[in-house]
Structure 1
Amino acid sequence: MSNALAAAAVAIGPGAGVESTAAALSRAVLLASARMEVTDRPDRVQIINGAFNANPDSMKAAAFTALSAWRTDAGPSPSWAR
């Protein structure tokens, strides 16, 4: 997300339109696998794969992201989130 915000700032700063910048970002594709890759399983389990370039700081950031993205409407929290 921060990369997309940085790209938008670089584009909009010199005069690109907000709408065209948003349209361009909406067409962005994942170039590296295992970088915050989200998979929704049929049994309502959501897998977030953040294994790309795993190190202690990135794993801490991934755990924080997972906990902050937890949806309250998804039912009880998993045992690891308590």
Structure 2
Amino acid sequence: MANPLRSEVVRLYKNLLYLGREYPKGGDYFRDRLRAAFAKNKSVQDPEKIKEMIARGEYVARELEALYYLRKYRAMKQRYYKDS
């Protein structure tokens, strides 16, 4: 029987893969680390543990988004406020 949380895990993986394209160390670096993290935990069967890992992955996604917004903000600030 397939795991009912599989679709959430796949969605999270695709979202993180998309967000990782703009990672400061490079998309290839991020993709390799992401792939290793998901492969390390592929044997987990406990639904509660899977939910915890999904929550952690969503937290990482939010942190990446915040990092990108901050980088965009800094670039815009430098562009319009040269004295600061």
**TM-score for the superposition, normalised by structure 2:** 0.30
Q: TM-score if structure 1 supplies the norm length?
A: 0.31
Q: Which structure has more RCO (C-alpha within 8 Å, separation ≥ 6)?
A: 2
More helix by share: 2
